[in-house]
Amino acid sequence: MLFDKFQTMADFQAELAGRGVVPFGAVTEQILSATEGVVEGRKVILAGTNNYMGLSFDPRCIAASQAAAAKWGTGTTGSRLANGSFAEHQALEQEIAGFYGVGHAIVFSTGYAATMGMCSTLAGAGDVILLDADSHASIYAGVKLSEAEVIRYKHNDPDDLAKRMRRLGDRASQALIIAEGIYSMLGDVAPLKEIAAVKREYGGYLLVDEAHSMGVLGDTGRGAAQAAGVEADVDFTVGTFSKSLGSIGGYCVSRHAELEAIRFCIKAYIFTASSSPSIIASTREALRIIVSEPERRQRVWDNANRLYQGLKALGLPVGPTASPVVAVEMVDRSRTIDCWKALMEAGVYVNLVIPPASPSTNFLLRNSVSAAHSSEQIDTIINAYAGLKAAGLFEPAQAA
């Protein structure tokens, strides 16, 4: 039957319902601040929102959004190519290009559309794409649509990338290499300095997805490429407005003037209604804030290090390095669900991640920290995990 392939998920949902757990699609009934809300009827610290700069509830962004809706209306009712390109869209494109110090930008309605759209369009039949094995679903969706030859290199392994580029021979000079800045599940940072060196040796074009690193890495928040000092080696940077900028949408920026022609070949851009004026306005205001308030980056890293070291001190299996994404990795699904439920009962909302969303066969309790979290809130999160460990909910083999 047509629906047979969904039975495994249906069974899993039934299991969750039977245990009174709603980790996927949990409903937030009220937002109290950038770091607190009411989720499934319980007041919690929001530790799974990707609100890295804490701007989703910033009064300046809210005011800009309200003013734009009053001036421009609630929506564009069309695509950028039809009737949905407003002056505000162009202004944001100029500003995001200026933020990255390049000449060209495209604004998309979602981050998924930006990444998928660029990955499906830049390379085509007869071309080669090399992507990190742990790439985001939007990247995999894009390269599949591209009809290019797709080669996966080992996660964060520049030597494996070099080996595969070497095998391509002359084709390497026209290959598209794809990496991310911060990987969204475990929070590990790509070795972009070494990846850029491979590109310089063998040729090709480099696309970096800075979705989770824009705002939090680099001297001015441009991301992992800036932090690694290799921005000149990056041909295309894609990202999202839904993390550090606290809204929704996506972008691609490039120094290549060809991006203006590529714009009219991207189906995810051509056939999607453009972002509402209120979203564009709040995004523009958020971009101004992260430029003018660099201290937010320091606060998010202070919180990230505090949470990472606190969970590590408990002996919990966290990722390889501290970052605004701090994940606890587990093997047993049932125990992971129990831990997620216990954290909610302790007043902490985190993300429950299951395969294939996780980069392995393991399960994750994924935490994301914000510049808006207080030190006391971070300590509350750590104490909630300590309570889980004391209750014996973590797997013995993975606890100190």
Residue 396, pLDDT above cutoff 60? no
Question: Binning pLDDT at 50, 70 and 90, where does residue 395 land?
Answer: low
Q: CATH for 4-57+294-398, among 3.30.450.90, 3.30.930.10, 1.20.1740.10, 3.90.1150.10?
A: 3.90.1150.10
Question: Binning pLDDT at 50, 70 and 90, where does residue 25 land?
Answer: confident
pLDDT value, residue 358? 67
Q: Which residues contact 331 (CB under 8 A, 6 or more apart)?
A: 362, 363, 395, 397, 398
pLDDT value, residue 400? 40
Contact (CB, 8 A) for 305 and 114: no
Cut 0.85: pTM above it: yes
**Structure confidence by residue, pLDDT tens digits, 220-249:** 999 999 999 999 999 999 999 999 999 999
Average pLDDT over all residues of the chain: 94
Distance CA 194, CA 173 (A): 17
Domain residue extents for the chain: 4-57+294-398, 76-275
Question: Binning pLDDT at 50, 70 and 90, where does residue 357 land?
Answer: low
Distance from chain centroid for Cα 147: 25
Question: Binning pLDDT at 50, 70 and 90, where does residue 19 land?
Answer: confident
Burial-class residue 199 by CB neighbours within 10 Å (0-12, 13-18, 19+): buried
**Structure confidence by residue, pLDDT tens digits, 324-343:** 999 999 999 889 999 999 99
**Structure confidence by residue, pLDDT tens digits, 63-111:** 999 999 999 999 999 999 999 999 999 999 999 999 999 999 999 999 9
Highest averaged pLDDT of the listed ranges 115-119, 318-322, 338-342: 115-119
Percent pLDDT > 70 in the chain is 98
Instruction: Report whether the peptide linkage leading into residue 356 is cis, meaning its omega lies within 30 degrees of zero.
Output: yes
Tell me the CATH number for domain 76-275.
3.40.640.10
